[in-house]
Amino acid sequence: MNSFKGQATQRLFALLAWFVFIFCSGIIVIGFITGSAQTTAAEETAEEQDQAGDDEEVAEEEPAEEISPEADEAQPQAGDETDSDDSVPIDEEADAAPEESDEPTARGPPSEEELDELADRVAQRLATDDDSETDEAAQEEAEEESAEDAGPQIIELGDLGQDTPLWQRLVSFFGIFALLFVAWLLSNNRRKVNWRLVAVGIGLQLAFAVFIFFVPGGEFAFAVATEAVAKLLQFTDDGSAFIFSSFVTNDWEPGLINFAFAVLPTIIFFSSLMTILYYLGVMQKLVELFAIIMQKTMNISGAESTSAAANIFVGQTEAPLVIKPFVEKMTESELMVVMTGGFATVAGGVLAIYVGMLDATFPDIAGHLIAASVMSAPAALVVAKIMYPETGTPETMGELDVTTIKEDVNVLGAASRGAAEGLKLALNVGAMLLAFIALIAMLNYIIGLPSLWYNQSLLTEMAAEYVKQEMTIPDGCDPKLVLDDDVYDCAAKMQAALGGSSDGWFSGLWAGLFGSATEAWISPVITMQDIFGWIFWPFAFIMGVPVEDCHTIGRLLGEKMVINELVAYASLQQILLDPDVVLQERSVIIATYALCGFANFGSIGIQLGGIGGIAPSRKDDLAKIALRAMIGGTIAAFMTATIAGIMI
């Protein structure tokens, strides 16, 4: 009886998940059709209103303009009868007026003074209208310039997707299947893939996305989450201001408002806050809620659903602690879920760093990052179950137990322990950023050395040509003093001044090696970011990034996988602050979702150490699936980005 009831419950939830999936897909299709139709109708209505407004303005101006031509016609007619001044025909018309009209009270034509006064008023009105139109145009231009100077446009949820072409949404939609196909190609047992679980997982993602982006309650929750994170950051600023303010001025000196003193302290505060919430049992309830949803709909074990839900709120090493008693006896498929979930999401404390870095240029980033963490949990389950299908029998199948481990005696103990752990994490993050950014600079220099040496030789030849023609070498372009970063620009500038150019890279390279420097091809400096951009360009495109932004976003995706997401978000911040680089809002939002995860080569060691410490006997199994799990976490984050690309 119990087995029959369990099967009936599973089928009911499966039907419910399929209904949600089909319903969400229907909403998207209907939204495409009605959205484009409403946009067209709105444009037609706006054009009609503009045309009506123009007609009214013309109608108002016509009576005033007709008076002057009548006066001009009356003057030549009177001039035919007499050669006197303008006052003569007006007097004659005044004498003729009573004869033409039967009205005894009819008013005669206006006098010359009245006509002049009326003409002046008409001219003044026309001049005022022209001035007002000029002022409005100048005001609009000034507003546009001020908006450009102010920085990136503030992205509102209600404005998303209004200007997105249908084909870009369709690219994101088919991108889901492309990513699933990549995961299937990497599967260790393609015949055992549970496609019902895959469909339900994608349905959950779509349901979360529709709730966040379109349901009024979801938009409200999104806004509340954004405001809550912003308020928490303000609390962090209060603590930082107390520590870093000057005793002389009582102000937080501008020189100390930087990444080290303004962003890293957020880790300490958020770590302390999360520890308190875990001590009070709040986080366990949230984890249990999400775990129940995923377990009942996707028919997975209690341990892996609990771990996936915990990854929404905590990091890749803290989440396995929630299921610590079960890790030793987990199947390989379950271990794959645990590791992939850790790679596909980020911790709450680290999330605060990204918000602190990008909040000034992307005010809504907090809500999007929270949405990305929630949506990536079912995506990680889907990808993990495709790449490592379940072939065994999980010990916790049909069970759910959220383990609560209390390490503190009271709230104060939890707060202090969380602050101490946050300090260690903040120092680790700062040291890691310093080291990795320095290593990137070194590798970029090594990769660019051939181009640098080649361009320096061209610069030396062109400098000799400058001396020969008695021309002045531009400032900062002396071959003996020029900086490495300026060699390319100086070579291009001096070649143009000499009137030279290359017909192509091959002939230009030949000229550079064996001919004249003025006709040589100047080699661009290639960096790791450029290589990443070419490799990840297709992935950026299938997520729905506009073509013109694919290379830039691809560079960020490569940085995230090879280095870490923190460096990638720092690069995104620099791009948004650079006035010479313009990214579409759609590209920025998709990149925000795609970068939200710990999937990088460095995290492999972190997970092997963290989970391996919990279950030492499973270290070999963990090492065997670690690289595949990291790739799976990347695919899961990309899938979440494609879902966002459909919605925006």
How far apart are the C-alpha atoms of 123 and 137, rounded to whole Å? 21
Lowest mean pLDDT among 68-77, 577-586, 593-602: 68-77
In the chain, the amino acid numbered 628 is: R
| Band (165; pLDDT cuts 50, 70, 90) | confident
Segment (H or E) for 318: none
pLDDT value, residue 121: 61
Lowest mean pLDDT among 87-101, 277-291, 296-310, 382-396: 87-101
Residue 236 tokens, joined: 């962090």
Are residues 29 and 77 in contact, defined by beta-carbon separation less than 8 angstroms? Answer: no
- State percent of the chain over pLDDT 90: 20
Q: Which long-range contacts (CB under 8 A, 24 or more apart) does 53-56 make?
A: none
Give the three-state DSSP class for 562: helix
Determine, yes or no, domain membership for 582. Answer: yes
Residue 461 CB contacts under 8 Å (≥ 6 apart), including other chains: 516, 517
pLDDT value, residue 268: 85
pLDDT value, residue 29: 45
* pLDDT tens, position by position, 557-572: 998 988 888 889 989 9
Determine, yes or no, domain membership for 364. Answer: yes
Residue 512 CB contacts under 8 Å (≥ 6 apart), including other chains: 454, 457, 458, 520, 521, 522
* pLDDT tens, position by position, 609-644: 888 888 888 989 999 999 999 999 999 999 999 999
Q: Identify the CA nearest to 323 among candidates 379, 388, 399.
A: 399
How far apart are the C-alpha atoms of 605 and 626, rounded to whole Å? 9
261 and 341 assigned to the same domain: yes
pLDDT value, residue 27: 42
How far apart are the C-alpha atoms of 48 and 636, rounded to whole Å? 47
pLDDT value, residue 92: 42
In the chain, the amino acid numbered 218 is: G
Q: Which residue did the predictor score with more confidence, 208 or 47? A: 208
Are residues 153 and 587 in contact, defined by beta-carbon separation less than 8 angstroms? Answer: no
Determine, yes or no, domain membership for 32. Answer: no
How far apart are the C-alpha atoms of 49 and 41, rounded to whole Å? 12
Give the three-state DSSP class for 133: helix
328 and 425 assigned to the same domain: yes
285 and 422 assigned to the same domain: yes
453, with CB counted inside 10 A (0-12, 13-18, 19+), is exposed
Determine, yes or no, domain membership for 130. Answer: yes
DSSP one-letter string for 429-477: HHHHHHHHHHHHHHHHHHHHHHHHHHHHHHHHHHHHHHHHTTPPPPTT-
| Band (10; pLDDT cuts 50, 70, 90) | low
317 and 231 assigned to the same domain: yes
58 and 121 assigned to the same domain: yes
DSSP E strand stretches across 571-616: none
Average pLDDT over residues 343-372: 83
* pLDDT tens, position by position, 223-259: 787 778 778 778 888 888 888 888 888 888 877 777 7
Residue 467 CB contacts under 8 Å (≥ 6 apart), including other chains: none
Q: Is the pLDDT of residue 74 over 50?
A: no
pLDDT value, residue 639: 95
130 and 182 assigned to the same domain: no
pLDDT value, residue 5: 57
64 and 213 assigned to the same domain: no
DSSP one-letter string for 226-261: HHHHHHHHHHHHHHHHHHH--TTTSS--GGG-SIII
Determine, yes or no, domain membership for 450. Answer: no
* pLDDT tens, position by position, 287-329: 788 888 888 888 888 888 888 888 887 778 777 877 877 888 8
pLDDT value, residue 88: 42
Q: Is the pLDDT of residue 168 over 60?
A: yes
How far apart are the C-alpha atoms of 542 and 557, rounded to whole Å? 13
384 and 238 assigned to the same domain: yes
Q: Is the pLDDT of residue 115 over 70?
A: no
334 and 422 assigned to the same domain: yes
Q: Identify the CA nearest to 531 among candidates 448, 593, 449.
A: 448
Q: Which residue did the predictor score with more confidence, 396 or 423? A: 423
How far apart are the C-alpha atoms of 603 and 611, rounded to whole Å? 12
Flag whether the pTM goes above 0.85.
no
Q: Which long-range contacts (CB under 8 A, 24 or more apart) does 215-223 make?
A: 219/157, 219/158, 222/157, 222/367, 222/370, 222/371, 223/157, 223/367
pLDDT value, residue 380: 93
Q: Which residue did the predictor score with more confidence, 36 or 440? A: 440
Are residues 544 and 586 in contact, defined by beta-carbon separation less than 8 angstroms? Answer: yes
Q: Is the pLDDT of residue 91 over 70?
A: no
Task: Report the number of distinct structural domains present in the chain.
Answer: 2
Handedness of CA 234, 587, 442, 455 (dihedral sign): negative
Q: Is the pLDDT of residue 155 over 50?
A: no
Are residues 432 and 566 in contact, defined by beta-carbon separation less than 8 angstroms? Answer: yes
Average pLDDT over residues 205-222: 80
CA distances (Å), 199 to each of 102, 196, 381, 433, in order?
A: 90, 5, 11, 39
Q: Within 13 A of 407's CA, how many CA atoms are on the CB side?
A: 10
pLDDT value, residue 40: 43
Q: Which residue did the predictor score with more confidence, 502 or 206? A: 206
Give the three-state DSSP class for 397: strand
pLDDT value, residue 547: 92
How far apart are the C-alpha atoms of 606 and 320, rounded to whole Å? 12
How far apart are the C-alpha atoms of 274 and 290, rounded to whole Å? 18
Determine, yes or no, domain membership for 476. Answer: no
Residue 562 tokens, joined: 């090879």
pLDDT, mean over the chain: 76
115 and 195 assigned to the same domain: no
CA distances (Å), 74 to each of 28, 80, 349, 415, in order?
A: 69, 10, 86, 95
Domain with 60 in it: 48-101+109-134
Q: Which residue did the predictor score with more confidence, 586 or 496? A: 586
115 and 243 assigned to the same domain: no
In the chain, the amino acid numbered 14 is: A
- State percent of the chain over pLDDT 70: 70
| Band (346; pLDDT cuts 50, 70, 90) | confident
* pLDDT tens, position by position, 528-583: 888 888 999 999 999 999 999 999 999 999 989 888 888 899 899 989 888 888 88
Region of 161 on the Ramachandran plot (φ > 0 left; ψ -120 to 50 alpha; else beta): left
188 and 129 assigned to the same domain: no
Determine, yes or no, domain membership for 17. Answer: no
Determine, yes or no, domain membership for 620. Answer: yes
